[in-house]
Each structure stands twice: as structure tokens, then as C-alpha cells.
Amino acid sequence: MRFSETSDVREAGILTSAIDRPLTSLHGGPNGGGAASAKDKHKVAYIVSRFPKLTETFILYEMVAVEQNEVQIEFYPLLRARDTQVHPEGASIWKKLIERISKPQGKLVMHPEAEDFVARAHYAPFFSWDILRAQAHFLRHRPSAYFSTLFGLIRWNWGSPNFFFGALSIFPKSVYFAHLMQAEKASHVHAHFANHPAAAAYIVHRLTDIPYSFTAHGADLQTDQHMLAQKVAEASFVVTISNYNKEFILENCGTRFVEKVLVIHCGVDTQFYQPAPPNDLDGPPDRPFAILCIGTMYEVKGHTYLIEACRLLQERGLDFLCHLVGNGPYLESLVDQVAKAGLAERVRFHGQLPRQEIAKLFRRVHVLSVPSIPTQSGRREGIPVVLMEAMSSGVPVVASGISGIPELVEDGHSGLLVPPRDSAVIANALERLYHDVRLRKRLGQAGREKVLSEFDQNKNANTLAQQFKRGY
């Protein structure tokens, strides 16, 4: 078995022009009230950081599933994603600025389902006449809310250059979004990520009284907690993807918010990610043992430790191929590491792939490895969605036992957990699965059952939709 090597993947859909609605056509009430009519009571405004972003499928498919629960989504990305090949790691406003001014490199890869959301997204620049008119509207009708919100952003983000300048840069655009949402009669605002998107939702709420919530994932929550307590205090509810994150929020913001912080796992489409029918996945010796790793090539993903584990497996004489899917700032150094380790015939780089191709890969590999690590800057994974996708597909997984991952991967039952940064233990776990076909099958079956029970996209989206419908 040999996968075709691809460094450039054709776009999965057509990136159509966004529909920007001029402020002059809006007719929001003068006092900024957030009350919605009965007809529009389930209209939810989603705020995200960048869109379309191939690696954030959990947001895209959550929105698709939420809309199947009688919720209409109005979509407000803070930035339009561009394929610059820069792929900045983390939420730094400076890194995102570098990405904005970098020259695009080819076509943007996105999932077909993203086309509709791109077409109806409310994209906006950082400054325009409509944005200026939105400032004038709230300065006239809600000056106290406008200035207190702005001063609060300055005060609570002081000391964090990223959050401070990030909050100031998105403030005018968020005010504009507030006016749009008011005119659209949004009944609720939901942001993905606890950093800049949650700050934007906070601004909208302060200016319009529309209730808001946000989902905290991983590094967005753990690397910087400036203004986190204020965001949690003002929110109607807060969603975390793991119990680990919930405890983190309560430790930093106070246990008085225990009822407000809800654990709703990210999920995957368990009908789309199905186990392969019984076939030749029993190898070896029929064909090389296929190891798969999917993720943007950031430090936090730990690719370098998997490559070192592959070097050890080669030393032990195992017949294997390791397939790395994704791009990112560490790609060049990882390619160099593979060459120096003499693994050019054992490790393949595939670039970015849409989920249709990912699903095909899951049917052709023996194991998924997710060697995540905590970084010195404080970045940590939440619960990588690729683990859910693989387990839903019946693929056994080897993952680092950090953050919320043990809530999905139960060591020895639904997968194997290893310490972060320990290539020898990663190699041992992979070698164990290489030799033990029955263990692979048992872990794959248990992993599928775990995802069906707790990480099914439709079930969890229904839970979230019910929260939106409750009204606050």
C-alpha cells in the first residue's frame, strides 16, 4: 500500500464572495434592546476567529448540526482565512497581522459544507464608513455602555499585549457586528474560543443586551487568562469541551460559576466516520503497518516525538509507513528531521486534506498517533477532534495523556495513553499494536462505542441548541 504524496491539495469547493450588508439598510432600535420577535426567537449569531479554516471542522459541523435543531445561524467571522502557508501558531494578534500581509500561496482548501457559510458570512474590514456609522449610533444612543465597555477592555487586558491590542483592534468591528445583530433580531450570541471571539461577544452584549455564551477549547483558555473572569461573569453560560477545562475555569474565576459552566463535548458525525468492513487491516506481514498522524504542524502537536519513535521502530526492524497530514510552520524542520533520521522511505507528507480524503485514510491505516505536548508558552490541546474521527472510524489510537484527552481515550480500553515527549514509550505502544491484532480490534471497537456514547456530533449539538432556545 502506498498513498499518493501531495504537497498541494485542490480546493474542495468554490470560495464565493461574502455578502456584506450595508449599515444604511439596517433599522435597529435606538436603545439597543436585544429582545427578539417570536418568529426570530431562535436566531443565534456565531462569532469565530477565522473562516473558512480547514483545521476547525468542529465549528463548521457544529453549526450544520445546530441548524438542524430549528436554530437559524447568522455568521460573523472576525477574519476571512487566507492560504498564506504562514499558519501562525497561537492567537497572537501580531502573528495574525503577519498572515494578513503575507502573499497568498495558491488556492484555499476548504470543506464543501463551508461554502454556504462563506456565502452568507458577515465579513467586515477593520475600518469602513459603515463601521464608523455604527460607532456614531451607539455613541448617540448608548454612550455610557460604549465607553464603559471600551474602558473595561483596556483595564482588564492591560498587561497582555496580545489581548490588549487584539481587543482594541476588534472593538470597532464588534460594535458594527452589534448593530447588525440588533437589526437581524438575534436572540443569542455564541462565540468559539475564549480569547478574541469571546471578547467580541462581550462587546455585543454590553451594547445591545443580547445574551451571549462562548465555548472554551484549549490554548485559547490556558495560555492567557486576562479578562476571563469578566467574560464568564457576563455570559449567560459557558461551554467547555472537557471537565479538565471546566475545573480550569472554576480555579481561575471562582466556584460561584459552577452552575454556569457546562461541559458539552465536541463531536463528530458518526455516520460519516464509519469503521472499515473487515478486510486486510490485520497486517503485518501482508503489508506495511500504517501509522497516521493528522494535525497542523505546530509545536503543540508533538510531531517531532512521533518521528523519533519511527526511527526507533526502524531500528527494531518493523515494517511500517507513517503518514503525516497537515501543513504549518514546523513542516520544513520536520522534513529535515525525517531526512537526517534516514526515514525518507518510511514517512510520507501529504499536506492538507478535506474530510472526504481523511475518511478514506482512516479505512487504510492501522493506528492513529496524536503525540501532543504542552508548550513552554502554556499551549495545550483540548481534546483533538481527529481522535474522535479516528475512534468513530474504528481505528485504534495512541495519544498523550494530557488535558482532556483521558476523558475520551481510556488507557487500555478505548486507546493507549503515553506520556508527552517520550518517544520511546510512543514507539513501545505502536510496536505493541503492530504485533497484537486482537488488541487493535478491541481498542477500535471500544473507541467507536465511546464516541457513539459521548462524542456524537448530532447529540451534542442538540444539547447546545436546547441551551440557545432556553432564553436568558
Q: How far apart are CA 121 and CA 19, in angstroms?
A: 6
Mean pLDDT, rounded, for 76-80: 90
Q: How many other CB atoms are there within 10 angstroms of residue 277's CB atom?
A: 8
Question: From the CA atom positions of the chain, what is the Rg in Å?
Answer: 23
Q: How far apart are CA 199 and CA 171, in angstroms?
A: 9
Q: Grid coordinates 464543501 are at which residue?
A: 112
**Mapping DSSP to helix (H, G, I), strand (E, B) and coil, where does residue 240 land?**
strand
Q: How far apart are CA 113 and CA 223, in angstroms?
A: 31
Q: Give the three cell numbers for residue 315.
A: 531500528
CATH class for the domain made up of 289-454: alpha beta
Report the percent of the chain where pLDDT is more than 90. 67
Q: Give the three cell numbers for residue 303.
A: 510531531
Q: What are the residue ranges spanned by the domains of the chain?
A: 23-267+457-470, 289-454
pLDDT at 160 over 90: no
pLDDT at 16 over 50: no
Of 3.40.50.720, 3.90.380.10, 3.40.50.2000, 3.40.50.10110, which CATH number belongs to 23-267+457-470?
3.40.50.2000
Q: Give the three cell numbers for residue 125.
A: 474590514
H runs (alpha helix) in 72-160:
93-101, 114-120, 129-141, 143-157
pLDDT at 110 over 90: no
Least confident of 37-41, 186-190, 354-358: 37-41
Mean pLDDT, rounded, for 209-215: 96
**pLDDT value, residue 112:** 64
DSSP 268: B
Cβ-contact 138, 72 below 8 angstroms: no
Chain segment 225-259, per-residue pLDDT in tens: 889 999 999 999 999 999 999 999 999 999 999 99
Q: Give the three cell numbers for residue 245.
A: 477545562
pLDDT at 402 over 80: yes
Chain segment 162-185, per-residue pLDDT in tens: 888 989 999 999 999 999 999 999
Query: How big is the CA angle at 427 (ends 426 and 432), to the nearest 5 degrees?
Result: 100
